[in-house]
């Protein structure tokens, strides 16, 4: 199975070079990026420069969750108060 996929890849690569030279030109930087990306990811993981950004994102997420929970309880309280006012108004009319 691996041989057929390798054969197909070589045929497609050959077609790209022969029939569509612009595709081959576009694929060259992509292939270079794919080769360099794993190393750059490891470099980024070993550096601590992104640590501050991650901490800010986590704090923002925590504050957002707290705000959503607060808004939910506030909405419930406002709804209950409005229903009490509506019920009182309905009884008096």
Evaluate if residue 76 carries a pLDDT over 50. yes
| Mean of the per-residue pLDDT values of the chain | 75
pLDDT, position 1: 47
Tell me if the pTM is above 0.85.
no
C-alpha 73/C-alpha 63 separation (Å) is: 15
C-alpha 15/C-alpha 5 separation (Å) is: 15
C-alpha 38/C-alpha 18 separation (Å) is: 30
Q: Which two tokens stand for residue 25?
A: 């030109």
Q: Which two tokens stand for residue 51?
A: 């640590």
């Amino acid at each position: 199975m691996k041989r057929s996929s390798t054969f197909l890849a070589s045929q497609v690569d050959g077609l790209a070079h022969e029939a569509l030279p612009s595709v081959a030109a576009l694929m060259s930087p992509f292939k270079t990026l794919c080769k360099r990306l794993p190393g750059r990811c490891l470099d980024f993981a070993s550096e601590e420069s992104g640590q501050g950004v991650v901490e800010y994102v986590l704090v923002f997420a925590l504050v957002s969750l707290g705000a959503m929970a607060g808004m939910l309880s506030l909405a419930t309280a406002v709804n209950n108060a409005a229903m009490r006012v509506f019920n009182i108004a309905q009884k008096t009319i």
